[in-house]
């Protein structure tokens, strides 16, 4: 450790946003990066030339674009979520994005939870091939802040909301105790390919929902002492990482047979606040974006810290990995997006 290398600097810094960058997302196949800023601007970057290739005012509103999401299942589209109470889906064209969104979902939610596209386990992706069979579901925070709504993106309609609003008063009370939903992650289980969902709440608890049994969560755990701010699931959907407003990061594993969520590793930090977390598709490393401006990189398997990246001069909002595992992008209040190349994987020829 004594001769440890100094932490690396970003390979590129994408400047151009005029406000805090809230979220970044890589295009699943092309070398494009989408970023949304709090002034409502949605930018598309070329990650080879490190240039902006397109920019649009996606969500004009008080807090602008809140979240950007892409997915292999979604194909050549990008979802942007704004604090104006809407989610928009954009077609990616040659010269950028479509002038008008393909469709707009009125969510009427104005709080802090980012949308989540459904994560498909690797095995399913490679096996199935035709993603159309799988219903493309997006999870997004509901109008009632304690609820999560699931939307079918192909049909553009709401499928259900969790917990179901038809629940008894008791359930409503408990959900009220948990507070607002702060983070969601939807995924298909690797074996059964059933839509599952993890949602984190204001009081620090996390619920695990099964699409088939929407009336009650499969499991409920409370790792964090304060609000859960980010949840990420690994590529085989057997575990994940969560960060919250307290000074802890948890790595957990999901036992899908027994429906038990157990803590695999608890990491304590010097400073609280993890706004974003991500796991690289090859499940080797995980990264977190902290309020303390820092990005932390962990060995996902062992849970030991690998790097502490100090570049941003403002609170970091999100971190994400590209699908080819080569790049990592982080965005921050300081209006920059940083591209990193960490522990690059070997090319699989």
Partner 1 sequence: MGRLLLFEVAPNWLAQFPKSVRSQIYDPFFLEGPSIGVLEELIPILNKKGSDKDPVHDKICSSVERLLVLCYLKKEGIRQMVIEFDLVEKQKGVAVKKDDKKSVSRVAQLLASIPDKIRPQASSKLSSFSFFKEATVQLIAGAEEKSMQLPSVCDTIEKDSPQNYAIFFVGETFSRIIRRGSTDIVVSEMVPRIYDLVKSLLLSYSNASLPSVMESTPKFWFWLYLVETMRDQYSIERLAEGILRQLASRAVTDTEAYWILWLLFNRSYNHTGTIRAMFVDKFILWKVFPVSCLRWILQYSIFEVAPTMEGHVKWQKPPHFVDTLQHLVTIWSKREFVQSSSVEQQAYLTAAVGLCLEKMSKQELETAKDVLSLILQGVSCRLESPIDLVRKMASAIALTFSKAVDPKNPLYLDDNPSDVVDWEFEVLTQKKVIITTSSRKQFINKPKTPLQEKSRENLGDKEAQKSILIQEISDKGVEEDEKDHDSDSSSDSSLEPYDLSDDDSDLNKTFTQLADIVAALRKPDDPDGVERALDAVEKLVRASPDELHHNSSDIVRALVHVRCADVAAEGEEESSEEKRHKALVSLLVTCPFESLDVVTKLLYSSSVDISQRILIIDVMTEAALELSETKIITKEQQRKGNLITSTSQPWFRPGDRGPVGAGPWRKVSGPGTSMLQNWSHQYERELPSRPGQRKLGKTRKWSVANSKDLQQEWSKNRFPMYAAAFMLPAMQGFDKKRHGVDLLNRDFVVLGKLIYMLGVCMKCIAMHPEASALAPALLDMIRSRDVSYHPEAYVRRSVLFAASCILVALHPSYVASALIEGNQDISTGLEWIRIYSLHVAESDPDTECASMAMNCLQLHSEIALETSRALESADRMKAQSRTLPSKLDNIIIPFANMN
Q: Which of 60, 69, 306, 323 binds partner 1 (CB under 8 A)?
A: 306
> Cα(333)–Cα(264) distance, rounded to whole angstroms?
31
Tell which positions 311-330 bind partner 1, by CB under 8 A: 313
Phi and psi based region of residue 301 (left: phi greater than 0; alpha: psi -120 to 50; beta: remaining):
alpha
- The smaller minimum CB distance to partner 1, of residues 222 and 302, is found at 302
Spatial contact of 70 and 34, defined as CB atoms under 8 Å apart: yes
Least separation in angstroms between residue 53's CB and partner 1 is 25
Q: Does 272 bind partner 1 (CB under 8 A)?
A: no
Q: Does 1 bind partner 1 (CB under 8 A)?
A: yes
DSSP summary character for residue 9: P
Q: Does 155 bind partner 1 (CB under 8 A)?
A: no
Q: Does 280 bind partner 1 (CB under 8 A)?
A: no
Place of tokens 């970003």: 10
Q: Which of 131, 134, 301, 324 binds partner 1 (CB under 8 A)?
A: 301
- The smaller minimum CB distance to partner 1, of residues 51 and 344, is found at 344
Give the Cβ contact number of residue 78 at 10 Å: 27
Q: Does 343 bind partner 1 (CB under 8 A)?
A: yes
Which two three-digit tokens encode residue 32?
Answer: 């494009």
Q: Which of 74, 78, 254, 342 binds partner 1 (CB under 8 A)?
A: 342
- The smaller minimum CB distance to partner 1, of residues 262 and 304, is found at 304
Q: Does 307 bind partner 1 (CB under 8 A)?
A: yes
Classify burial at 281, counting beta carbons within 10 Å of its beta carbon; exposed 0-12, middle 13-18, buried 19 or more.
Answer: middle
> Cα(334)–Cα(295) distance, rounded to whole angstroms?
14
The C-alpha torsion from 71 through 321 and 142 to 122, rounded to 10°, is 50
Give the Cβ contact number of residue 322 at 10 Å: 22
Q: Which of 48, 60, 155, 308 binds partner 1 (CB under 8 A)?
A: 308
Q: Which of 94, 130, 268, 270 binds partner 1 (CB under 8 A)?
A: 270
Size of the site for partner 1 (CB under 8 A): 31
Give the Cβ contact number of residue 183 at 10 Å: 26
Spatial contact of 40 and 48, defined as CB atoms under 8 Å apart: no
Which two three-digit tokens encode residue 188?
Answer: 């298909």
Least separation in angstroms between residue 299's CB and partner 1 is 5
- The smaller minimum CB distance to partner 1, of residues 49 and 345, is found at 345
Give the Cβ contact number of residue 15 at 10 Å: 13
Least separation in angstroms between residue 273's CB and partner 1 is 11
Q: Does 248 bind partner 1 (CB under 8 A)?
A: no
Q: Does 222 bind partner 1 (CB under 8 A)?
A: no
Q: Does 179 bind partner 1 (CB under 8 A)?
A: no
> Cα(274)–Cα(315) distance, rounded to whole angstroms?
10
Q: Does 84 bind partner 1 (CB under 8 A)?
A: no
Least separation in angstroms between residue 71's CB and partner 1 is 25
Q: Does 4 bind partner 1 (CB under 8 A)?
A: yes
Q: Does 265 bind partner 1 (CB under 8 A)?
A: no
Q: Does 304 bind partner 1 (CB under 8 A)?
A: yes
Spatial contact of 140 and 107, defined as CB atoms under 8 Å apart: yes
Q: What are phi and psi of 170, to 5 degrees?
A: -60, -45
Order of strands across the sheet that contains 294-299: 274-279, 285-290, 294-299, 305-310
- The smaller minimum CB distance to partner 1, of residues 81 and 316, is found at 316
Stretch that binds partner 1, among 57-65, 77-85, 149-157, 287-295 (CB under 8 A): 287-295
Q: Does 9 bind partner 1 (CB under 8 A)?
A: yes
Spatial contact of 37 and 335, defined as CB atoms under 8 Å apart: yes
Binding site for partner 1 (CB under 8 A): 1, 4-9, 11, 270-271, 284-285, 292-294, 299, 301-302, 304-308, 310, 313, 341-346
């Amino acid at each position: 450790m004594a001769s440890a290398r100094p932490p690396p600097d970003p390979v590129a810094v994408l400047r151009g946003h005029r406000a805090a960058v809230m979220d970044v997302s890589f295009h699943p196949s092309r070398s494009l990066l989408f970023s949304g800023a709090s002034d409502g601007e949605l930018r598309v970057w070329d990650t080879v030339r490190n240039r902006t290739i397109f920019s649009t005012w996606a969500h004009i509103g008080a807090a602008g674009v809140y979240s950007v999401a892409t997915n292999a299942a979604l194909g050549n589209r990008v979802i942007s979520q704004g604090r104006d109470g809407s989610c928009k889906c954009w077609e990616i064209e040659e010269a950028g994005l479509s002038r008008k969104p393909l469709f707009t979902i009125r969510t009427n939610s104005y709080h802090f939870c980012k949308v989540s596209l459904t994560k498909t386990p690797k095995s399913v992706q490679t096996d199935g091939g035709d993603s159309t069979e799988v219903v493309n579901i997006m999870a997004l925070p509901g109008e009632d802040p304690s609820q999560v709504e699931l939307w079918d993106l192909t049909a553009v309609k709401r499928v259900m909301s969790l917990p179901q609003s038809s629940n008894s008063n008791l359930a409503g009370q408990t959900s009220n105790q948990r507070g607002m939903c702060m983070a969601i992650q939807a995924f298909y289980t690797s074996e059964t390919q059933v839509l599952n969902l993890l949602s984190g709440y204001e009081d620090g608890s996390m619920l695990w929902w099964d699409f088939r049994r929407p009336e009650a969560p499969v499991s409920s755990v409370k790792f964090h002492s304060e609000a859960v701010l980010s949840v990420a699931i690994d590529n085989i959907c057997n575990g994940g990482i969560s960060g919250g407003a307290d000074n802890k990061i948890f790595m957990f594993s999901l036992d899908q047979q027994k429906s038990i969520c157990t803590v695999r590793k608890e990491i304590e930090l010097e400073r609280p606040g993890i706004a974003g977390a991500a796991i690289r598709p090859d499940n080797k490393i995980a990264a977190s974006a902290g309020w303390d401006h820092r990005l932390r990189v962990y060995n996902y398997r062992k849970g030991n810290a690998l790097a502490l990246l100090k570049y941003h001069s403002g609170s970091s909002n999100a971190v994400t990995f590209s699908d080819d595992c080569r790049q990592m992008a982080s965005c921050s209040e300081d209006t920059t997006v940083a591209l990193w190349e960490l522990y690059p994987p070997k090319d699989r020829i």
